């Protein structure tokens, strides 16, 4: 048989063993690193996730990379993510660099075109988010926020005011 298609059982066995051990290593390291590592993803989390997948594929398929090297790469990526998230909880500028800030797209009955353009969001997407939240009338909506993980939050108008969930969201003219 052509060696491009099949070069013997050793390569298949190696890929299987390294795939299982590499997968187990990633799961173990993710579990010990805490829930934050597995939370909703922002851009930073996505990069780490893609990098972990790339390392796992390299460990499984490259004869030049050992399982220990792959394990070290996993630990470094997860360790760096842990450090950056630890810093982002404690330092505002790190949090802003890593996750960005939520964007106010709709406020008290009006879409905010400049904010929507900057976020590359259409009026149809804002209306869809409002519908998905179960609100039928725009007058029932206080605000629509594009969160740092890319999801939309629809804030309904409140009858009383014990504080606002919009605290920390940049409002127009503020």
Average pLDDT over residues 132-156: 90
- How many structural domains comprise the chain? 2
Could you tell me if residue 20 is inside a domain? yes
Residue at 17 is within a domain:
yes
The per-residue pLDDT for range 79-120, each reduced to its tens digit, is: 888 888 889 889 988 888 877 788 999 998 899 999 999 999
Q: Are residues 107 and 85 in the same domain?
A: no
Domain membership of residue 3 (yes or no) is no
| Half-sphere exposure for 52 (CA within 13 Å, toward CB) | 25
Mean pLDDT computed over every residue of the chain: 82
77 plus 146 within the same structural domain: no
Tell me the whole-structure pTM to 2 decimals: 0.59
Render pLDDT for 51-69 as a digit per residue (tens, 0 to 9).
888 998 998 888 888 888 9
Asked if 105 and 40 sit in the same domain, the reply is no
Residues 6+ apart with CB under 8 A from 71: 22, 25
Note whether residue 163 is domain-resident.
Answer: no
Indicate whether 127 belongs to any domain: yes
Q: What is the mean pLDDT of residues 113-135?
A: 93
Same domain, 142 and 110: yes
Does some domain include residue 137?
yes
- Are both 92 and 118 inside the same structural domain? no
Fill in the DSSP letter of residue 170.
Answer: B
Does residue 173 lie in a domain region? no
Identify the domain containing residue 33 by its residue range: 9-97
Let me know how long the chain is: 174
CATH classification of the domain holding 110: 3.30.240.20
Residue 166 within a domain: no
CA atoms within 13 A on the CB side of 47: 9
Helix (H) or strand (E) holding 90: helix 67-90
41 confidence band (pLDDT: 50, 70, 90): low
Count Cβ neighbours within 10 Å for each residue of 10-39 and write b for 16 or more, e otherwise.
eeeeeeeebeeebeebbeebbeebeeebee
Shared-domain flag, residues 81 and 27: yes
Q: Is the same domain home to 114 and 135?
A: yes
Whether residues 14 and 73 share a domain: the answer is: yes
What is the per-residue pLDDT for 151?
Answer: 87
SS3 per-residue string spanning 112-128: CHHHHHHHCCCHHHHHH
Q: What is the pLDDT of residue 38?
A: 54
- Distance, in Å, from the CA atom of 162 to the CA atom of 174, rounded to the nearest integer, reads 21
* Angle formed at CA 145 by CA 143 and CA 150, multiple of 5 degrees: 160
What mean pLDDT is predicted for residues 9-31? Answer: 81
129-137: average pLDDT = 92
């Amino acid at each position: 048989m052509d060696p491009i298609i099949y070069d013997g059982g050793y390569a298949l066995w190696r890929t299987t063993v390294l795939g299982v051990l590499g997968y187990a290593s990633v799961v173990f390291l993710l579990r010990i690193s805490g829930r934050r590592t597995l939370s909703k993803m922002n851009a930073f989390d996505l990069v780490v996730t893609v990098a972990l997948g790339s390392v796992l594929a390299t460990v499984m398929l490259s004869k030049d990379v050992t399982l220990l090297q792959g394990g070290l790469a996993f630990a470094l990526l997860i360790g760096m993510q842990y450090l950056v998230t630890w810093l982002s909880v404690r330092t505002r500028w790190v949090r802003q660099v890593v996750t960005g800030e939520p964007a106010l797209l709709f406020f008290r009955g009006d879409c905010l075109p400049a904010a929507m353009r900057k976020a590359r969001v259409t009026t149809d997407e804002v209306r869809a988010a409002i519908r998905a939240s179960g609100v039928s009338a725009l007058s029932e909506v206080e605000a629509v926020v594009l969160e740092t993980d890319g999801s939309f939050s629809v804030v309904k108008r409140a009858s009383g005011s014990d504080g606002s969930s919009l605290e920390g969201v940049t409002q127009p003219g503020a």
